[in-house]
Chains A and B, each alone.
Chain A
Amino acid sequence: MAQLSAPARERTFWNRTIGVVRSIPPIYIVAILLFFAIGLRNPTFLEASGILNFLRRAAPLMILTAGQLLVIVSGGFDLSVGSLMSMMVIGGALMINNDPANTWWAILVLFLIGAGAGLVNGVIVAYLNVPSLIATLGMMLALRGAGLYWTGGAPRGYLTDNFRMFGRGWIENVPFVEQIPIAVVVLLVFSGIYIYLYNYTNLGRQMLAVGDNAQAARLGGVKVERIRIIAFVLSAISAVVAGILQGGFGGVNPEAGEGFELQAISAAVLGGAVLLGGRGSMAAAITGALALEALFTLLNLLGLPKPLRDAVQGLIIVGAVAYAAYTARRRQ
C-alpha cells in the first residue's frame, strides 16, 4: 500500500506543479530565458545599470504596445501609430525650433495632434464602420504625407535638450541604483496607468466585451462606439509618448517610428492577445514588447547582420503564435 501511494502522491504533486507552470503565460518564461541568454553572452547586462539601459531602449515599444493592446482587444488594429510617432519627432523639432522655451507648449500641441488623430481613427471605425485595417492604413498614409508636407520634404529644426531629456536623461541620486533613466520612470507610470485602466476599471471590461461580441455588448448596455473611440485615442496617446521618447533617444529622424506599428502588434500577439479581439492581457503584452526587444538585443550580440535579424524575428513570431494556437486547441 505504502509503496503504491507514494508514487501516486508524487504524481499529483508534479501534476500540480506542471499545472501552475502551465497557467503562467509562456511569454514571461520566454522573456526570462532571453534575459538569461543575453546575460550569458554579456554578464554586465544583468547588472542594474545594464537592465535600466535596456529598459530605456525598450520603453517606446512597450508603451506603444500597451496602447495597441487596447485597440486589439476591442477588435481592431492601429496601423497609424508608427507614422504618428515619426510625426511627433519631426513636428516637435519644427515647433521647438531650437528654443528650449517652446518645448512645453510644443509637447502640449503634440498630445493634441495625437488625440485628434486617434479621435478621427475611432470615429471612422465606430461610426462609418470602416474596417480598422483600412481606416488606420489611410491615417498612416495621411500622417506620413502631412508630416512631410509640414516640414516641406526634409525635416528641419532641432530637438532641444529639455525635450530630449525624456528619452535620454537620467535622474541622479536614486536610492539603491544611484541613477535611473527618465524614460523608465515614464514607462512605469504609463504601464501603471494602462494596466489600471485595463484590469481594474469598467472601461477595460467593456473593451473586452466589445471585442468579443460587439452586438452582445451593445445589447448589454455598452456604448460600443464610445468604447472603440476611447481605445483608438488611448492608442494614439501611447504613440505620442513613445514618439517623444524615441525622439529624445534618437534625435530628429523622419523615419523614427517606421515599423513600430507591426512590432507593437507582434508584441501584443506574443503576449497572448488574440487578433480581432476579446482576449489579451496588458501585463503579458507589455512583457511581449520587452521580450521582442530582448530578442533584438540577443541577435545583435550573437553578431547576426541586421537583415538576418528580420528573418529570425519573423520565424519566432510565427512560431510563438503557432504554439499558442496549438495549446489553445489542445485545451479544447
Chain B
Amino acid sequence: MQRRIREFKIPPVYAILVVVFVSAVVLDLFFGRGQITSSTILTNMLVRSVALGIVAMGQTFVMLSASIDLSVAYLISVTAVMASFLMRGDPARVPMAVASVFAIGAFVGLINGLVVSKLRVNPFIATLGVGLVLKGVLNASFETFIGAVPRSFQTLGYGTIGPVPISILVLLGVTVVAAFVLRRTRFGAHLYAVGGSEEVARLSGLRTDRVIILAHIICSMTAVLTGLFVVSRLRSGAPWVGTDGLYDLESIAAVVVGGTALSGGKGGVAGTLAGVVIFGILDTAFNQLGVDTFLKQVLRGSIIILAVASYTIRSRMKAS
C-alpha cells in the first residue's frame, strides 16, 4: 500500500494518449490540412483542455474516495455568473468577487461531503440533488449574461508568459499540487485508504467522514477555479455555461479514462491529465479533419468506452 503510493509509475493511459495522438497526426496528414503539429494548434488544444482539466483534478479526489460529484457543472455556472455579477467590470472588485466564489465553493463542497458522509446518502443522488438546488436557485435569480469581468481579469484566460499561456501553467500548477497532496501528505494516503475500503479505514482509526468531506471541498474548489477560467474567457457569465460544457459527466469520463477506478482507492491525477489531453486531441483532430459535429459525438462516446474497456480487458488478462 505504502509502496504503491510513493513509487511513481507511468499510468497505462499514456499508451492510449500516444496512440490517439499519432493516429490524429497521421489522419491529419492524409485527410486533413496537415497542420495539427503546428505550435498554434497544439497550444490551442491545451488551452481548451484547461477548463475540463482543472475540475477533473478535483473529481479525481472525490472518485479516489469512492464518491462522485455530479454538482460541478452547476457550481461552474454559479461561479461564472456570480464572479461577473460581483465584478461588474471593476478591477477593484476582483479580490472580493474571487473570495466570494471560493467561499460559495467551499460551502457547496462542505454540504456535499456532509450529506454523503454523515447522512449516508448515495453520492450520486446527493450531489445530483445539490446540483439541482444550485441550478434552481441560479435560474430563478439570473436569466442571461450578467455583469462582466474587467480586462485585467481576462489575463487568466488569454494572458501568456513568454510563449506559454498562463492558463496552461495554472492547469499544470493544479496538477502538481494535487499530485503532491496525493503522494506526499497524510491526507493523500488516507484518501486512498478510505477509497480502498471505508470499513477497514474506519476500523484502523481513520476519521473517514473528515477525509470524504475534505475531498468534496477540494473538488468544489477546483470547480470554482474552472468557473473563474471560463468566465475570464467569456468576459461575462450566463447560467448555462457549466451545464452546456457537460463538465459533470465529461470530468468523470476523463478521470475514468485516466485509470482511476469508479469504486475508488486506485488511480491518480497523472492519469486524469492524460485523459483530459486525450479529449482535447480528439476535439482538435475532429475539427482539423472536418468531422461532422454530430458524428463527433458518436466517435467521442465510442472512444471513451473503448479506452475504459481496454483497462478491464488488460487487468483480466493479467489475472488469468
Contacts and interface: CB of A to CB of B under 8 A. Distances in A.
Nearest to B142: A307
B253 A134 contact: yes
Contacts of A262: 128
Q: Which range contains the number of A residues in contact with the other chain?
A: 35 or more
Contacts of A149: 292, 294-295, 298
A77 B294 CA distance: 24
Nearest to B118: A322
Given A141-B301, A325-B120, A329-B120, A314 B316 contact: no
B119 A308 contact: no
Contacts of A308: 136-137, 140
Nearest to B246: A141
A148 B294 contact: yes
A166 B313 CA distance: 44
B88 interface: no
Contacts of A309: 136
Contact of A311 (B132, B253, B293, B302): B132
Interface string B302-320: 1011001100110010000
B158 interface: no
Contacts of A321: 121-122, 125-126, 129
B133 A146 contact: no
A315 interface: yes
Nearest to A146: B298
A102 to B, nearest CB: 24
A194 to B, nearest CB: 22
Given A310-B132, A318-B129, A153 B294 contact: yes
Interface in A289-312: 305-312
Given A138-B304, A139-B301, A315-B129, A307 B137 contact: yes
Given A308-B136, A325-B121, A130 B294 contact: no
Name, among B119, B128, B129, B300, the residue most crowded by chain A CB atoms within 10 Å (CB to CB): B129
Interface of A: 77, 124, 128-131, 133-135, 137-142, 144-149, 153, 262, 265-266, 269, 275-276, 305-315, 317-318, 321-322, 325-326, 329
